[in-house]
Structure 1
């Protein structure tokens, strides 16, 4: 004989009430757990945003610090002369004239005088260059930095290259000089014994793209590439 429900209404009501309470308790527990998970998710996103922001600020600060503390470039010069006196600089009174053939220059390396009608394109060269073309470049405001390969090291040559600006400058070997290094401009020259001599950069600052040349502002490209051009 099947067992029926309790016939006691009070007991039945109490049982139903207990079931409802348990369901409500489970619902509240699930709701509370959901709210906890939601709160954790919000905190995680907040911390991630803060961490990302801090990282971004750190990167910006590092860039600013690098910019502020970066060493000054060795080849940053102002065009034109200021009239500054540089110890050891000799000045001359060479005349300008276009000629054919070779010229017997009074200075070695030459610092002005008659020259070829075509100038040497400015740049870095690993081989000696023709005087008559290089002098024409001086006439346009270039500076010619030369070194005797028998008297300087490869490290010295790299240092000299770091002094040379990207335009209106020639760097090339010049065998047989009476000093290891010479810096020449139109009618001005400095000879030094060391690549570390600060006067090399002083010379560039004073004579690079000077207005006191026969043809200031004329091109230093578009003419003759000498042998061994590196850049």
Structure 2
């Protein structure tokens, strides 16, 4: 074999060797990338699954809390629902339903009393009206605001002359409490805010008067 032919053969062997090595490295990179992608998919899938499991558990807890009976709730059935003009005398303090004003009180957190007749209209739309004695300590009021304020059907206001420090009312239902920390309060709000007792379910608790 001539020297030139031998050099050509050596170059061909070298080129083939280089190509073989390049392909091997490409296969390694592909395998590495594939492995990384698989690991990321598994990790993300595991995180997503864990989040979904926790969310499902939380939803189950909320559903169970919403369906469970709440001790101490008094029921007032067969309430009137007419729109009237002027003041109404209610048998409950605060009222839990009955004839009411044509305009409702917008749901929200209030630091001054609201009109009974307008708040009762809010109850008709599914509001839970939480009232408290005006001399309730500020930290207790803050607890109430935290529970009520995050619900679009929550209404909070002071109410002079309450027989208990805190009273929660929904249409035809009422719960008296001695403390804002009573665990029945969030359960009452969760169960009855636009709940099954609502005469006009789905109606908005807005578009009326007042601003939180």
Indicate which of 118, 133, 142 corresponds to 2:127.
142
Which residue of the partner structure matches residue 8 of structure 2? 23
Which deviates the most, 63-72 or 47-56? Answer: 63-72
Contact 2:132-2:159 at 8 Å conserved across structures: yes
- Quick check: which one's helix share is greater? 2
Q: Distance in 1 between matches of 2:85 and 2:102?
A: 8
User: TM (normalized to structure 2)?
Assistant: 0.76
Secondary structure of 1:116's aligned partner: coil
1:188: Cα distance to partner?
1.5
Which residue of the partner structure matches residue 173 of structure 1? 157
Map residues 65-214 of structure 1 onto 2, 5 A cutoff: 65-70=50-55, 72=58, 85-92=69-76, 94-121=79-106, 123-128=107-112, 129-148=114-133, 150-151=136-137, 152-162=140-150, 164=151, 166=152, 169-176=153-160, 177-204=162-189, 207-209=192-194
1:62: Cα distance to partner?
0.6
Q: Distance in 2 between matches of 1:154 and 1:68?
A: 32
Which deviates the most, 24-33 or 92-101? Answer: 92-101
Which residue of the partner structure matches residue 19 of structure 2? 34
CA RMSD of aligned residues (A): 3.3
Gaps of 5+ in 1: 1-15
Q: Distance in 2 between matches of 1:105 and 1:69?
A: 45
User: TM (normalized to structure 1)?
Assistant: 0.70
Which residue of the partner structure matches residue 210 of structure 2? 226
In our comparison, the structure showing a higher alpha carbon Rg is: 1
Contact 1:77-1:204 at 8 Å conserved across structures: no
1:126: Cα distance to partner?
3.3
